[in-house]
Amino acid sequence: MKGYLITQISKLLKISRDTLHRWRNRRDHTGDVKARFGYQTGYNHKISDMEEFQKFIDQNPGKTHQQLADLYPVEMSAKTMGVWIKKLGYTRKKRASDTKNVMH
């Protein structure tokens, strides 16, 4: 970067001047400008074994999402239970009144 203005470099690389300042500070403190890694933890999924979860769902037919969430060994909300059940491809049982043809 010696001999060039930050503005010139930022236009050449199409990045902000702030980014260049952060990179320069990182180089001054750590000796390189490698991207940081290891700080991203991601989303911690409630269910790690889908086969075990599917067995649990199959063994408890007719229960509501809340009842299933209360019975499942991992703490989760009824909404989360519903999301995971949907991932298995299951749908809720429709009531007869919901599926009647109301056009008669």
Does residue 8 belong to any structural domain of this protein?
A: yes
User: Residue for token digits 């001054």?
Assistant: 28
Domain that holds residue 72: 50-91
Q: Residue 1 has what pLDDT?
A: 59
81 with 55, same domain: the answer is: yes
Does residue 100 belong to any structural domain of this protein?
A: no
Count the Cβ atoms, other than its own, within 10 Å of residue 69: 20
Q: Residue 92 has what pLDDT?
A: 73
Does residue 37 belong to any structural domain of this protein?
A: no
1 with 27, same domain: the answer is: yes
Q: Residue 41 has what pLDDT?
A: 72
Q: Return averaged pLDDT per consecutive 10 residues of the chain, 104 residues in all.
A: 85 93 90 79 81 94 93 93 92 67 58
Does residue 44 belong to any structural domain of this protein?
A: no
Task: Please state the domain count of the chain.
Answer: 2
Does residue 101 belong to any structural domain of this protein?
A: no
Does residue 2 belong to any structural domain of this protein?
A: yes
Q: What is the pTM of this model?
A: 0.51
Q: Do 41 and 52 meet the contact criterion of CB atoms below 8 Å apart?
A: no
Does residue 42 belong to any structural domain of this protein?
A: no
